[in-house]
Amino acid sequence: MSRSPASPSHSRPWMQHWLLAAGIYNLLWGAVTVLFPAWLFLLTGMEEPRYPFIWQCVGMIVGVYGIGYLAAATDPLRHWPIVLVGLLGKIFGPLGYVGGLIRGEVPAAFGVTLPTNDLLWWIPFAMILLAARREALASLPTAASSSTASQPTSAGRAAAFFLPLLLALGACSSMAAEPLPSMPLWEGTPPTGTILSNSTTAPVDDNAFLTVHLPDQPTGTAVVICPGGGYGGLVVDGEGHSIATWLGIHGITGIVLEYRLPHGRTEVPLLDAKRAIRTVRQHAAEWKINPERVGIIGFSAGGHLAATAATLFDDGNPLADDPVEQLSSRPDFAILVYPVIDMGESAHAGSRKNLFGDSPSEEIAFQFSPHRQVSAESPPVFLAHAVDDTGVPIAHSELFYRAYRENGLPAVLLRLPDGGHGLNGYKGPSWDAWQSGAITWLRERGMLPSL
């Protein structure tokens, strides 16, 4: 009586042990992430976990990786559907991390080390699957085979064919739609303004970039989008390109501003925001924009930047050699979503430190607290903030709203009942409420055509 071939994992014990360790490690890592989503942000120096729900989902996916590893280590042919799910994650996971690193959404420490970690586990994983495929091919029945060979056929055929399929899927994922091209904001060396900190680590040749999302049916209104990130990073997807997509549905041209991070250069983000507004007006005819309907929207620290641009604007320099600098930097409206406003005693600690350095003067903190700079020329503003936001309390938006009302300026503050900072990861009733409220407000202000 012939013996059935040994399981490829058992014939290579070092691979089995490696994958067992990988499975246990990923199960523990996933469990910790699901239960304590804040720990990742503490490791990266961010004060608040911005998107706990998303990271809980990540934790569950990592747990699936772990189950896939354990299945591959024990009997990959019998448990091939589970192995398939784990392998899919290992194909798309590193691609997602690297893509997030390129877009600036994933900290460098994660974007480099996590894909490298994945590759270390990929080696024995792939070797066991290849061995399983060889065994499966060898076990496929011939025309003379007895009917008793039919049971291993389904598992054998699955293992024989799902690995090439996965490799094809991996190749297809790398051929995904290319992102819209970005244009540099500044020609030559960008200005830095007054350096207020000696601790700058910024590269001398860094630049800001604009990505223009042109709607299919433009209304002539445009919005410069300032993503958040505590002035230590940029959340260019959820608070950038996704916002531009939403605006495009309503015929609004969304321009994502990837502004330079301060690194001790306090004026740098504001210089970029003002330049972005001027640049939009410079390209008004090309992008089918009314130069008198150019607004700005910002989230969290990006909301602080948008509020600063709405209060510290200028009319342009008619004598400037650069035609862009001749144009006004005043936005025609501002939309601020859970913005940082006060840079004094109630400031968001991370944003304040990243913008000013360790010990800013009272004068500079006063200058860059937008509620203290509201004037009769400040544009209309729409604010939205969750009452349960503990990262940046709603008191920030209330300060700005109160300053507008005291100056007799048009302002709306939408107090959202829940969602915290980030509004439940950009979804849910509170997220929908501010978006519908902002569109209605724009129509009332004459920035969009009436329905």
Task: Check which CATH number belongs to the domain holding 321 and give it.
Answer: 3.40.50.1820
* DSSP per-residue letters across 10-35: TTSHHHHHHHHHHHHHHHHHHHHHHH
The reply to whether 399 and 371 lie within a common domain is yes
For 234, the enclosing helix (H) or strand (E) is none
The reply to whether 243 and 165 lie within a common domain is no
Q: What is the DSSP letter of 5?
A: P
Q: Is residue 428 part of a domain?
A: yes
Q: Please tell me the predicted confidence (pLDDT) of residue 349.
A: 81
Q: Is 150 a residue whose pLDDT tops 70?
A: no
Q: Look at 414 and 16; give whichever has higher pLDDT.
A: 414
The reply to whether 289 and 402 lie within a common domain is yes
Residue 216: count other Cβ atoms within 10 Å of its Cβ.
7
Q: Please tell me the predicted confidence (pLDDT) of residue 130.
A: 65
Q: Is residue 2 part of a domain?
A: no
State the distance between the two ends of the chain, measured CA to CA, in whole angstroms.
Answer: 81
Beta-sheet pairing, 411-416 with 381-386? parallel
The reply to whether 164 and 303 lie within a common domain is no
Decide if 397 contacts 413 (C-beta within 8 A).
Answer: yes
Q: Is residue 189 part of a domain?
A: yes
Domain count, the chain: 2
The reply to whether 357 and 431 lie within a common domain is yes
Decide if 125 contacts 8 (C-beta within 8 A).
Answer: no
Beta-sheet pairing, 209-213 with 182-184? antiparallel
The reply to whether 190 and 101 lie within a common domain is no
Beta-sheet pairing, 253-258 with 209-213? antiparallel
Q: What span, in angstroms and rounded, lies between the C-alpha atoms of 14 and 407? A: 73
Q: Is residue 244 part of a domain?
A: yes
Which residue reads 């729900």 in tokens? 53
Q: What span, in angstroms and rounded, lies between the C-alpha atoms of 311 and 309? A: 6
Q: Look at 137 and 190; give whichever has higher pLDDT.
A: 190
Long-range CB contacts for residues 288-294, cutoff 8 Å, separation at least 24? 288/214, 288/218, 288/220, 288/253, 289/218, 289/220, 289/221, 289/222, 289/253, 290/220, 290/221, 291/327, 292/332, 293/220, 293/221, 293/222, 293/332, 293/447, 294/221, 294/222, 294/223, 294/224, 294/331, 294/332
Q: What span, in angstroms and rounded, lies between the C-alpha atoms of 354 and 424? A: 25
Q: pLDDT tens digits, residue range 202-211? A: 665 689 999 9
Alpha-carbon distances, residue 2 vs 5, 16, 92 (angstroms): 9, 25, 41
Q: What is the DSSP letter of 371?
A: G
At residue 186, the 3 state secondary structure works out as coil
Q: Is residue 6 part of a domain?
A: no
Q: Look at 79 and 438; give whichever has higher pLDDT.
A: 438
The reply to whether 261 and 400 lie within a common domain is yes
Residues facing 335 on adjacent strands: 297, 382
Residue 174: count other Cβ atoms within 10 Å of its Cβ.
8
Q: Is residue 450 part of a domain?
A: no
Categorise residue 187: left if φ over 0, alpha if ψ from -120 to 50, beta otherwise.
beta
Q: What span, in angstroms and rounded, lies between the C-alpha atoms of 357 and 266? A: 8
Q: Is residue 8 part of a domain?
A: no
The reply to whether 267 and 300 lie within a common domain is yes
Beta-sheet pairing, 294-299 with 222-226? parallel
Q: What span, in angstroms and rounded, lies between the C-alpha atoms of 116 and 303? A: 35
Q: Please tell me the predicted confidence (pLDDT) of residue 206.
A: 85
Q: What span, in angstroms and rounded, lies between the C-alpha atoms of 412 and 407? A: 14
Find the range with the poorest average confidence among 47-51, 186-190, 230-234: 47-51
Confidence band, pLDDT 50/70/90 cuts, at residue 351: confident
Q: Look at 382 and 137; give whichever has higher pLDDT.
A: 382
The reply to whether 30 and 127 lie within a common domain is yes
**What is the distance of C-alpha 448 from the center of its chain?**
28
Decide if 298 contacts 311 (C-beta within 8 A).
Answer: no
Q: Look at 90 and 319; give whichever has higher pLDDT.
A: 319
Q: Is 162 a residue whose pLDDT tops 90?
A: no
Q: Is the pTM of this model over 0.85?
A: no
Find the range with the poorest average confidence among 17-31, 229-243, 276-290: 17-31
The reply to whether 169 and 189 lie within a common domain is no
99: which residues sit within 8 A by CB, 6+ positions away? Answer: none
The reply to whether 136 and 265 lie within a common domain is no
Average pLDDT of span 320-330? 96
The reply to whether 126 and 216 lie within a common domain is no
Q: Is residue 416 part of a domain?
A: yes
Domain that holds residue 125: 13-141+148-173
Find the range with the poorest average confidence among 48-57, 298-307, 311-320: 48-57
